[in-house]
Amino acid sequence: RPAKYVAIDCEMVGTGPGGRRSELARCSVVNYEGDVVYDKYVRPELPVADYRTRWSGITRRHMKSAIPFRAAQAEILKILKDKIVVGHAIHNDFQALKYFHPKDRTRDTSRIPLLNQKAGIPVKANASLKSLAKHLLHKKIQVGCKGHSSVEDAQTTMELYRLVEVEWEEELATSLPPRSPSPVADSAQYMDDRYWPADLNADGL
């Protein structure tokens, strides 16, 4: 069973006018035990206008060893295939990968009231990964001025998932609809209002 789980985190940089478009610049995937199974820098399809280093941890030098987006996308999706994928605000990661993952095989730690309850945070609040890590794992992440580490964030996300795994899976078993074999149905499920944040739905995404 643990072999079916991976956690993902992506770091983005800004491209296009004013660097307002987000594109993938690093992707890390860890297994159930938190061991790194993938960690590569990715060259965006458009020229980088803003490295967003304070948040992304990405600098110009990282692009020297980066691989093209399409190559990275193919490698990453091969890893995610048939896996249960854990992430925090995972719609951002999937959006960066230009990918839809079936809802019944997606676990978003930003969308589970149980974690907020355990952390003493209002159930409907959008708790940050940093806040949940502090309250539930007693660890500090995303500190300093060098930006986030996608490896650390993916590992932390998996730790949080494992903390509530049994209870969460029991709850999901009674709430998720039966999975359709149709890829179109998968996409429709993924766009379900219960999964996507309200502000994104308002934008028509």
Domains of the chain in sequence order: 2-202 (3.30.420.10)
What pLDDT does residue 96 have? 96
- Is the confidence at residue 64, as pLDDT, over 70? yes
The separation between CA 187 and the C-alpha centre of its own chain, rounded to angstroms, equals: 17
What pLDDT does residue 196 have? 40
- Do 81 and 6 meet the contact criterion of CB atoms below 8 Å apart? no
Placement of tokens 């890829």 in the chain: 183
What pLDDT does residue 146 have? 62
Q: What is the DSSP string of 121-188?
A: --TTS---HHHHIIIII----S-SSS---HHHHHHHHHHHHHHHHHHHHHHHHHHSPPPPS-HHHHHH
The pLDDT tens digits of the residues spanning 145-201 come to 566 789 999 999 999 999 999 999 998 888 766 665 544 444 444 444 443 444 444
